[in-house]
Chains A and B, each alone.
Chain A
Amino acid sequence: MTRRDRYAKIVLYAVLVAALIVVVGPFVWMLLSSFKSEGEIRSVPPTWWPSHWTLTNYRDLFSRLDFPQYFANSAIVAIIVTLGNLLFCSLIGYALAKLDFPGRKALFLTVLGMLMVPGMVTFVPQFVLISNMGLANSYAGLVLPFLAGPFGVFLMRQFLLAIPDDLIEAARVDGAGEWRIFWRIVLPLCKPALATLGILTFLASWNNFLWPLVVATTDDKYTLPVALALYSIGQNRIYFGLLLAGAVVVVLPVLIVFLALQRHFLRGIATTGLK
């Protein structure tokens, strides 16, 4: 290794470490501060290490909120939405990438068009629709609008384009039906893309605030983010301790999911772009 290489490496590491501090710093502060008293969190200049460790924030959080209920709601909604996306987006993506049918191009352009519509614009009409269907304040109402999305379809189609047609032709020649081809040949090849889609959908659903807030008209259908907003933000003041402890509890499961699927995630992002 030459001298220049070593300097380049040092600079690279310095930049990376700086970036890491910027990205991870707030999370570390959130975690540490969730163990501080309200007074210490508000102290100026702010401290990193709690001078007195306290569990009050967590105790408050768990005693004032019906935690198991909200956690279960969040998990049910996020899991069903994720499974729905994996199934429907890969089906539609497969059709758009590999099957020849009239209107395929128009359909794909529609999907692309839907990507450009901000969710906020369709928010209220969607809620009116769901409540006219009698689904307000139900799990179905929480889940239904998110079972498939244009982004997922687009992602899956782009990935599927890279799978050689010959492979599918060969399977067809060997007498496999379309379903069998999809389940046995195409889907297993899609694992990286599915992992990516799964993580992104799970994250979006887990963090979704506005939709569950409006659709759930009684609090037994609230999801975690909505429940946490309940008592941490008052009319005239914010309870930072409660807010931070809640944020830790909401972030933790997502962090675990991400760490578990991290390898697939990175591969998925890399391969969808390149092939």
Chain B
Amino acid sequence: MNQRSIVAVAAAAVIVLSGAAGCGRDAGTEKETAKAVSDGKASGDITVWAMGTEGEKLAAFAKAFTAENPDAKVSVTAVPWDAAHQKISGAIAAKQTPDVSMIGTTMQGEFAKTGALDPTPADLFGKDAFFPGAWDTTLVNGTSFGVPWYVETRGIYYRTDLAAKAGFPDGPKTWDDLTAMAKAMQSKAGAKWGLNIQPGKTGSWQSVLPFGWSNGAEIAADGRYTFDTPELTEALKYYQSFFTQKIAPDNLPQGALEPAFVRGEIGAFMSGPWHVGILNEQGGKDFAGKYSVVGMPAGKSSTSFIGGSNIAVFKDAKNRDGAWKFLAWLARPEVQVKWYQAAADLPAVQKAWDDPALSGDKILQVFGTQLKSAKAPPSYPTWEQVSAVFDTEVEKVCVGGEDPAAALRNVQQQASAIGTGA
């Protein structure tokens, strides 16, 4: 266990203890209802925490909000992504939260469970405006805590030249296609590796679960985790086959993927929208025409992972009304488009995708279509813990050749022991 997770555990312990002593709060035991937000313009100081690029760009971007609401002031504090989890859990433990914070979708369940997040006022936000998978990440026991801000999803990047030689000029559509294309890229198009998918390590669940979902698997049902299903086992077997057949590398060093893809040594890989920028930067101007993206190859369906970030208001917010009005502004379709232009974050609001800035881009449209059906893991408070177990087992399967069924039974056993925490 590294230092950071120890702090997180300690913070969780303090939160639990203060709850036991009667001075804490606990969400999730019963359904919470949100208080209404006052009408009229926002006023007062609104303090916001945001990570990385968002933290860097939001302060200037919010000037448009303060222009509409002259009595309001938005103070943004940038928080490092790497350490956002500790910072927020520490702040919750010590009741030092800002009014608003960006919350990674996978942290949502855990933080909502502490009772520190304010339920979303239904009169301000229509859930149908957002991608359904994104809205689901805000839900804990049926109550929404915060709103989706931006989204991302995963697809298959492939070299169009190699794919044409391999006999799949339009990329793979099904699981069989993907295997056949990747193999042919090695045998006919001279690629060293046909496909790169994550062989374990942190976050590999984001690569494996899309195959599971595309095969009809559900990793949670009736308030419990369900990893040991035939659907997920079959998907993990399929995932493993790329490594046993030596189509995918199982020990690619970090940062080696992009240059190898540019050189044509790797024919395809699975990743999210941020890779467009990296590839264009690494491959130069001409490279943009040499690759394309398709959605998840279909098993029973084509269902990818939806990630990104939510943005939430804390119960201890000094300026609750102002905070929610700021979030409502951020969720306007036209503001979402402008935010995409400022920070390259994909809009979580569906209507924003009709704007030519997004609808004109071929690759973005692939991701946009994928987002409509994309899913997220359940927002159980224990998800970060359980996903770590899952990642470890994925690595045993891909690198160590463990039996997928046994690995998933293992995950299930540990996940049941950990529980959902809800």
Contacts and interface: CB of A to CB of B under 8 A. Distances in A.
Contacts of A218: 47, 75, 77
- For B4, B55, B255, B256, which residue has the most chain A Cβ atoms within 10 angstroms? B255
Given A233-B52, A233-B80, A237-B274, A213 B86 contact: yes
Interface string B65-91: 000000000010111111100110011
Interface in A232-253: 233-237, 240
Among B47, B256, B260: residue with most chain A CB under 10 A: B256
A214 B80 CA distance: 11
Contacts of B3: 120, 210
A275 to B, nearest CB: 35
B256 A233 contact: no
Interface in A206-240: 209-210, 213-214, 217-219, 226, 229-231, 233-237, 240
Dominant SS among interface residues on chain A: helix
A158 to B, nearest CB: 28
B216 interface: no
Q: Which of A44, A124, A209, A213 has the most CB of B within 10 A?
A: A124
B104 A235 contact: yes
A124 B77 contact: no
A218 B91 CA distance: 12
Contact of A42 (B56, B152, B259): B259
A70 B11 CA distance: 27
Contact of A234 (B7, B52, B96): B52
B7 A217 contact: no
Given A124-B90, A127-B94, A235-B104, A229 B80 contact: yes
B256 A44 contact: yes
B98 interface: yes
A213 B81 CA distance: 12
Interface residues of A, number: 37
Interface extent on B, as a size class?
35 or more
A72 B314 CA distance: 31
Interface string B388-399: 000000000000
B94 A136 contact: yes
- Between A43, A214, A235, the greatest number of chain B beta carbons within 10 A of the residue's beta carbon is seen for A235
A231 B56 contact: yes
Classify the interface of chain B: helix, strand, loop or mixed.
helix
A47 interface: no
A73 to B, nearest CB: 14
A19 interface: no
A39 interface: yes
Given A44-B260, A233-B80, A214 B86 contact: yes
B64 interface: no
A91 B91 CA distance: 35
A236 B282 CA distance: 17
Given A120-B6, A125-B14, A236 B274 contact: yes
Contacts of A55: none
B309 interface: yes
B218 interface: no
A230 B75 CA distance: 17
A213 B4 CA distance: 12
Interface of A: 38-39, 41-44, 64, 118, 120-121, 123-125, 127-128, 130-132, 136-137, 209-210, 213-214, 217-219, 226, 229-231, 233-237, 240
17 contacts: A39-B282, A42-B258, A42-B259, A120-B3, A124-B90, A125-B14, A128-B93, A131-B96, A210-B7, A213-B83, A218-B75, A219-B78, A230-B79, A231-B78, A234-B274, A235-B51, A237-B274
Interface of B: 3-4, 6-7, 10-11, 13-14, 47, 51-53, 55-56, 75, 77-83, 86-87, 90-91, 93-96, 98, 104, 152, 253, 255-256, 258-260, 272, 274, 278, 281-282, 309
- 3 nearest interchain CB pairs? A229-B80, A214-B90, A42-B255
